[in-house]
Structure 1
Amino acid sequence: MLLVDHELKERIKNDGLLQDIQENNIFNIGYDLICDGFSRQPNDQSDFYKLLPGESVFVRSKETLQLPTDLCAHVSLRNSRIRQGLSLEAPVYQPGHKTRVFFRITNISTSEITLYSGEGIASIFFELLHAQPDKPYNGTYQGEFDYTGMGQYAPQYASQMKQVEDRLADLKNMEKSVYGNVVTLMTIFIGIFSLVNLNLTAAHSATWSMAELLMYNLCIIAGIFTLAGLIRVLVPPLHHKSLPWWYWLAPVACFGVSLLLAVLPQLIDVLPQIIK
């Protein structure tokens, strides 16, 4: 049976159940703990911590716990933190345990989460036992008011963090690839529309020669190739090699032929004078 708010206030006042509290943090069936620092190793405490995806850190509460022999306590993550992408692991605090509250937080999201001292991350709940145990708690962590250290997590999480980082990189590359493909398709569509519009206009006009029409068509085709190539270079598709050098022969050839068609009439007019 959980202690409710008025019972909790009475136990805090009479038994010193929790110390260094803020009374407005007491709610109907528990108490919202206040974060007082983050640690990975002894004597390595910080007031804020940037928790990477897959990484864990121990959190120390501002409050200290002094359980009587007829109560045990459970620590749970607050709803807002669950939605943020955090996961919590904590022991069941046994009857007779005197300690500061410590719990481990793991970032199971794909984003970096920054934690600060003074914030609320977890809540503690007190359960009334139907009888007092013969042996109250007197284990290794009795009287732990300063952080004593946790296991080496780096080797265990290194491969998982690398997988997370690789997946994040793949997602970013995929996003860039999709964006590049969309822009390329839009470029090709605009180019085709321009070609159709140009030829339809030329079909209803008697002022354009075949050389001029071919020149304009080649310019548009060269522009399509150039823009598509630049998009491919700036936003390369996922797991694709770079463009081969011979790709650029097509736009160069189109531009070259169109330039030749543009200057050829002038050359024909000037050539006889040069020969004379």
Structure 2
Amino acid sequence: MTTGTSFKNGSTPTVVLVHGAFTDASSWAGVIAELQESGIPVTAVANPLRGAATDAAYLAGVVAAIDGPVLLVGHSYGGVVITVAAAELDNVVGLVYVAAFALEEGESVLDVTGRFPDSLLGPALRPAVLRTPDRAEAVELYLREDRFPAVFAADLPERLTSVAAAAQRPIAAVAFEESSPDASWKTLPSWYVVATADQAIHPGAQRFMARRAGADTVEVEASHAIALSRPAAVAGHIRTAATAPHAVGHTRPAQRSNR
């Protein structure tokens, strides 16, 4: 496999992968291997999972240090983070949402999920109280280990999901409640991968956000853990984004579906 057309400044962008809640950067392992085989520069960021403002500021610092254009890729809540961070950066040339939240300005994760049929996520959440450095109390959320496979990764082997459940990283509850201050997909070309068997973010919600963003969209039969279960399909759409020609202004690409 080879890369195709480069971006407007003449270089292929660095793909920056941002994971969501209940997982970590290792969830991109298969996608990274696929992109590296294609000769596409790629890095996976450890998302703090503390809230949109905090996480976007961290991501923006990482991306600002990258020399050249960057293509941001977010999974799940990672979509919130890339949307906010991109508004503060001048080297981001596109956004890829992988079963992810592409929020409107002033909109929260809970706002979107509340418009669609309930997923399995809500009843599977396990809250835990933690103390902040100033000794205040805050709530973070885990997935119950016995519900992790059904909610997050129904298409992965049980041995793998049991390990992932034990190693999961919690997300601050406030992250689901915070409103996005920006909708950078309005000014940047966007791509979307819909996971049609997702039990965490309803596929209807994914299609709605993809359509609203004017994203070049593919659909893949996969669970919420699509980056782990279908890395070639995910990497393929990222590759499409990374090798697409871009105009200086934002033009919305036509949608397409790949069922």
TM score, norm. by length of structure 1: 0.20
Higher RCO (CA 8 Å, separation ≥ 6 residues): 2
- The structure that is strand-richer by fraction is 1
Name the structure where helix makes up a greater proportion of residues.
1
TM-score normalized by the length of structure 2: 0.21
Bigger radius of gyration? 1
